[in-house]
């Protein structure tokens, strides 16, 4: 054996860091696969991926913990800073950092004091958000046609509510059965409230006018489901007025503060939701009697006032006698007045008719006839002169038109020479030998080819004698119109 230090350990296996870390991880998970811890929560962090990271501590030590997102919904309490809880889970390590932690599967408050402390913190936060304000609470309907009840289908609570509603106000009651205790209670009650609010007003299932959440009395732990934050926010968001009737008069839950009305007992909730039919009938009967009595007094008062006013009015026979006298007097004067009026108009007609004779009617006609003869005698020579001038101008224009007509020379034996593209040939020097041209005569067109030699000069054409101008004939004698 060698005496050199350390030579005796030369055959020991050398672990890698990863091998040692994972060996420790397996050892801890096998030895502490189920651990139940009690401690105070601190450094609570809700990560964006859904996991919750926290630290459990007491007065001398602390341990990190994690709640995977699949287990967060199953927790009976919401992790909060300073809350004392009891958790169960397994111990494991984080090899990358050489740290150990507990993977939490369940969590519950450590005693009633911790639950109440958590409730007070939640209550203060919701109150700061304004969910407890009376201004946002809805008014209960005075005469509901449909009442929705969220409670356990068995037990005395539902029987008391149905019996009380049947005695007071017979109406349609819809019961949504839920469990009212345990971990699933809050989710079921929340689903019932959302389901009632989702019903259409004209659907096959009638939509309630008011909701009642009811449960019998119990301990703080029994009623803890009604302190759930999500349930409280669902109650506050309900568009249907809601009455909370959880526990007895001394029991208080979180939904009592956010509901529109709180009832001390389920029976009191039924009384709040419905009126008393017999009292309404009695009230209607009393109002009907008061209306009849008031109407009778009003009629009697009006009758007395009319009689009093009628005494101050004149009698009808007196009014008729005065009108009859005035009518008789006017009728007696009417005949003589009409005769005098006819006589006056007859005299006026005779006076005017004596001045009327045929000469008065013929005199304007004679004056207009003489005026027409004078005008005709002056206008006829002027019209003849105007016609002669117009005829002379027309002849001049005709001659001008004949002199500028390009087709007029063709009738006298001339012809126009056009190139094949339609252009007019004005000078012969512009034509080349062998070029094809078109000759336009008076009666037809002919094509021709230009040769190379110039032709002999032709004698000038013999001028034709000019025609004598045509004189305008004398205007016919039109006679005299008169």
Give alpha helix (H) positions in 32-96. Answer: 69-72
Q: Residue 91: how many CB atoms within 10 A of its CB?
A: 18
Q: Which residue has the tokens 């019996």?
A: 163
Question: In this structure, are strands 436-440 and 445-449 parallel, antiparallel, or unpaired?
Answer: antiparallel
Residues 386 and 121: their CA atoms lie apart, in Å, by: 121
Q: Summarize the confidence of residues 134-146 as an average pLDDT.
A: 93
Q: What is the pLDDT of residue 10?
A: 56
Q: How confident is the model at residue 261 (pLDDT cuts 50, 70, 90)?
A: very high
Instruction: Give me the chain's average pLDDT, please.
Output: 84
Residues 256 and 234: their CA atoms lie apart, in Å, by: 13
* HSE-up of residue 366 (Cα within 13 Å, Cβ side): 6
Q: Summarize the confidence of residues 436-448 as an average pLDDT.
A: 86
Quick: pLDDT tens for 287-324.
999 999 999 999 999 998 988 887 777 677 777 877 88
Quick: pLDDT tens for 160-180.
999 999 999 989 999 999 999
Q: How confident is the model at residue 8 (pLDDT cuts 50, 70, 90)?
A: very low
Q: Tell me, letter by letter, the H, E, C secondary structure of 173-229.
A: EEEEECCCCCCCHHHHHHHHHHHHHHCCCCCCCCCCCEEEEEECCCCCCCCHHHHCH
- Enclosing H/E stretch for 389: helix 358-403
Q: What is the pLDDT of residue 4?
A: 43
| pLDDT-wise least confident of 63-72, 130-139, 408-417, 457-466 | 457-466
Query: CA 163 → CA 64, 278, 463, distances in Å?
Result: 55, 16, 141
């Amino acid at each position: 054996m060698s005496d050199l230090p350390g030579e005796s350990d030369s055959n020991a296996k050398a672990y890698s860091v990863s091998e040692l870390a994972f060996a420790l991880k397996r050892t801890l998970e096998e030895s502490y696969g189920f651990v139940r811890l009690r401690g105070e929560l601190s450094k609570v962090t809700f990560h964006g991926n859904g996991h919750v990271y926290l630290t459990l501590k007491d007065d001398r030590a602390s341990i990190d913990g994690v709640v995977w997102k699949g287990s967060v919904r199953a927790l009976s309490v919401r992790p909060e800073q300073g809350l004392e809880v009891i958790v169960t889970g397994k111990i494991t390590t984080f090899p990358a950092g050489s740290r150990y932690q507990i993977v939490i599967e369940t969590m519950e408050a450590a005693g009633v004091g911790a639950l109440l402390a958590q409730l007070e913190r939640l209550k203060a936060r919701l109150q700061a958000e304004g969910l407890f304000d009376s201004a946002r609470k809805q008014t209960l309907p005075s005469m509901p046609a449909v009442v929705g009840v969220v409670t356990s289908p068995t037990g005395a609570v539902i029987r008391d509510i149905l019996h009380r509603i049947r005695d007071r106000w017979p109406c349609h009651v819809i019961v949504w059965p839920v469990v009212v205790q345990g971990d699933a209670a809050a989710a079921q009650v929340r689903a019932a409230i959302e389901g009632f609010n989702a019903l259409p007003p004209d659907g096959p299932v009638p939509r309630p006018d008011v909701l009642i959440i009811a449960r019998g009395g119990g301990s703080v732990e029994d009623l803890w489901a009604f302190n759930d934050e999500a349930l409280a926010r669902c109650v506050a968001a309900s568009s249907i007025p809601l009455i909370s009737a959880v526990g007895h008069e001394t029991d208080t839950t979180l939904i009592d503060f956010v509901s529109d009305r709180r009832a001390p007992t389920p029976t009191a909730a039924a009384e709040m939701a419905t009126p008393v039919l017999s009292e309404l009938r009695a009230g209607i009967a009393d109002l009907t009697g008061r209306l009849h009595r008031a109407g009778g007094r009003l009629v009697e008062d009006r009758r007395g006032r009319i009689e009093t006013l009628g005494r101050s009015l004149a009698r009808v026979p007196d009014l008729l006698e005065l009108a009859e006298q005035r009518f008789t007097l006017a009728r007696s004067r009417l005949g003589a007045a009409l005769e005098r009026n006819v006589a006056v108009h007859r005299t006026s007609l005779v006076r005017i008719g004596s001045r009327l004779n045929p000469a008065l009617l013929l005199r304007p006609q004679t004056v207009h006839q003489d005026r027409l003869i004078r005008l005709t005698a002056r206008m006829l020579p002027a019209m003849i002169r105007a016609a002669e001038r117009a005829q002379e101008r027309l002849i001049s224009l005709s001659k001008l038109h004949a002199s500028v007509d390009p087709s007029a020379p063709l009738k006298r034996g001339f012809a126009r020479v056009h190139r094949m593209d339609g252009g007019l040939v004005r000078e012969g020097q512009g034509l080349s030998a062998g070029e094809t041209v078109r000759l336009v005569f008076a009666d037809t067109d002919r094509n021709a080819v230009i040769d190379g030699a110039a032709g002999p000069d032709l004698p000038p054409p013999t001028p034709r004698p000019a025609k004598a101008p045509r004189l305008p004939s004398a205007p016919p004698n039109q006679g005299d119109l008169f």
